[in-house]
Amino acid sequence: MQLEDMKIYFLEVENEDEFLLKSKYPRARIFGSKLDEDEIIKNCLDAEVLCVFIHSRISQKVINALPNLKLIVTRSVGYDHIDLTAARQKNVVVCNVPDYGSHVIAEHVFALLLSGLRHVNLGGLRVVQDLDFSYSGLRGTALKGKTLGIVGAGRIGKIVARIGSLGFLMNVLAFDPLEDSDVALENHFQYTDLETLLSKSDIISLHCPLLQETKHLIDENAIKKMKNGAVIVNTSRGGVIDTNALVEALKSKKISCAFLDVLEHENNLNKDRDLLDLKNVIITPHIAFYADDSMGKMYSESFLSIDSFRNGEFIVNKVES
């Protein structure tokens, strides 16, 4: 069978990316929206390859119902939306994209910080809505000389450290269970324990996965250890922060402001209503990853996985379950 004869299905594809897929795999079937489990089974029954994103749940039910399925590729780092056990039992290979854009997420951290601490949004609204060009009440906060605390010094966290230290001349502390002195030296930060980081940082940026041990890592007790007026940035996972504790801290000004690209209840924003209504909060809709080159790499790495699998080569980005 030739590569072009494989039954390849792409789910959750945006309009601007369809040309890229069609030019690579002219006979591929493309769906713009996410499909639920029954819709995947109905529309992709003869699929040999499924290339999905994070909102497509590839469960045991789906895997068992697709008789020809051989490969699942998710255009994401995480793969908890795929039942790895069911895939392994049916000899279905699973691949991911281990790093599609650490730098763009790191850049978004500073986009949030600069927008909030220099009152970019408020100043812009004042000019446009009120035709008022005065700067009264918009005094900002400089980053130079501040202490930046990074929770999780992995792919993204280390880039945030480098930008903060070399770009903005900040003092950078980091907490990570796996310390690497070479990484710290190269990216100009110093490791410390979590309690010290919380107590000494002016700004705390979260870059840890959502695991059982990190759920509500930033809770009432953690917030009590922070400096009065500390700033929190979260571009990792919403559940790392206890939303109720954050709301109370923002209301009391224990935390001066929060800049969030992720929320604990992204699928039901009414649960975060108190947080959304606060003026000392900036929220973006999980777009830290969403840039031109990161989206391009999601697809190019997925193509490598598909082609290496079909050609019988070492499978690129295979998830070891």
The answer to whether 259 and 113 have CB atoms below 8 angstroms apart is yes
What is the rounded CA–CA span in Å between residue 32 and residue 199?
46
CA atoms within 13 A on the CB side of 9: 26
pLDDT in tens, the chain (321 residues): 445 578 999 999 999 999 999 999 999 999 998 899 999 999 999 999 999 998 899 999 999 999 999 999 999 988 889 999 999 999 999 999 999 989 999 999 999 999 999 999 999 999 999 999 999 999 999 999 999 999 999 999 999 999 999 999 999 999 999 999 999 999 999 999 999 999 999 999 999 988 899 999 999 999 999 999 999 999 999 999 999 999 999 999 999 999 999 999 988 899 889 999 999 999 999 999 999 999 999 999 999 999 999 998 899 999 986
Q: Specify the pLDDT at position 65.
A: 98
The type of residue at 130 is D
Domains parsed from the chain with CATH numbers: 3-100+292-310 (3.40.50.720), 102-283 (3.40.50.720)
The answer to whether 69 and 92 have CB atoms below 8 angstroms apart is yes
Task: Note the pLDDT tens digit of each residue in 71-125.
Answer: 999 999 888 899 999 999 999 999 999 999 899 999 999 999 999 999 999 999 9
pTM given for the model: 0.88
Q: What is the 3-state secondary structure (H, E, C) of 83-102?
A: CHHHHHHCCCEEECCCCCCH
At 293, list the tokens.
């080159």
Helices (H), 132-242: 155-162, 181-187, 194-200, 220-224
The partner residues of 230 in beta bridges, in order of sequence, read: 255
User: What secondary structure does DSSP assign to 279-315, as a single string?
Assistant: TTEEE--S-TT-SHHHHHHHHHHHHHHHHHHHTTSPP
The answer to whether 207 and 177 have CB atoms below 8 angstroms apart is no
Q: Specify the pLDDT at position 321.
A: 65
Residues carrying an active site annotation: 237, 266, 286
Helix (H) or strand (E) holding 49: strand 49-52
Q: Specify the pLDDT at position 102.
A: 95
Strands ordered across the beta sheet of 230-234: 190-191, 171-175, 147-151, 203-206, 230-234, 255-260, 281-283
